Amino acid sequence: MIETDLPITVAAQSADILGEVPLWCERTQRLWWVDVRRPALQSFDPATGRHTAQRLHPDLITGSIALREEGGFLLATPGGLFVFDPATGEAARRIADPLQGAAGMRLNDGKCDRRGRFWVGSMHDTRREPLGTLYRVEPDGRCTAMLDGFVLPNAICFSPDDRTMYFADTHNQVIWAFDYDIAAGALSNRRVFKDWTHQKGRPDGATVDAQGYVWNCMVASGQLVRLAPDGRVDRVIQLPVTNPTCPAFGGEGLATLYITSHSQRFTPQEQAAEPLAGALLALDVGVRGLPEPRFGAAPAGR
């Protein structure tokens, strides 16, 4: 059954063209995210309700971000991976360039594992062809191409026990699961986790809750789906936007689920009919999330 009566609030009327990759930072007590079509790093403070947007250099159009153990963020851009700390105001510094200037290519969705590595997928920005690669990025900037042949990489996230990694190709409407060796940063046993090819919606960003269930935003259908570890659909929540893009747990106790959205390619008439398109939404889904891993961190015992 599709849930349609769950209270949903507007955390920030950010009017994003392509809002993406929200992350909760326990140090700043803010939610951070980007608009892939505008060079800015955005934040929302639930204690004050304040929404801020810090402009970045025009070359730093960002597909995804990660928190850094040393402070600030890792930015995944067409020109490579940059470290940037909004608190210092220093210029962003490039640490790796996996794309090497390949025409039309950019970095898209990315997430850190709990050993401080960053996993990020590449794609062509306009051609929907299988030109994308999944990269593993070490804290020292070394990049390894792990898999290729993807059109629109998304939904990178990890199970609470670090034994499973999830990854999707939005264009082909499939989410895969992999056995994950966190000590080696190695993938094996690729398998279909959820096949959405029979649905209108397409799998975009995802996160995993403390119970090990995957929350996935479905663009085009406006749905938020909770998937059990075996791929079974556990819940479907209808959202007030057609194109939700990525979920993240944040706030006190990681009990609030935040969702970015997009208004990309909307006509003025469509935008008027859907005023929340591009907003940051928030809702209580009754479960808690997991702390966001940081780039460069390697917790003891892992």
CA 173, CA 203: separation in Å to the nearest integer?
A: 6
Q: Which residue is catalytic, options 204, 230, 234, 284? A: 204
Q: Would you say 93 and 82 are in contact if contact means Cβ atoms under 8 Å apart?
A: yes
Among 84, 76, 80, residue whose Cα is nearest residue 54: 84
Q: Is 209 a catalytic residue?
A: no
CA 132, CA 138: separation in Å to the nearest integer?
A: 19
For residue 80, give both structure tokens. Answer: 């490579």
Cα 225 to Cα 1, 20, 53, 124: the distances in Å are 11, 17, 29, 27
Torsion of CA 116, 121, 125, 127, to 10 degrees: 180
Helix (H, G, I), strand (E, B) or coil at 253: helix
Q: Which residues carry out catalysis?
A: 204
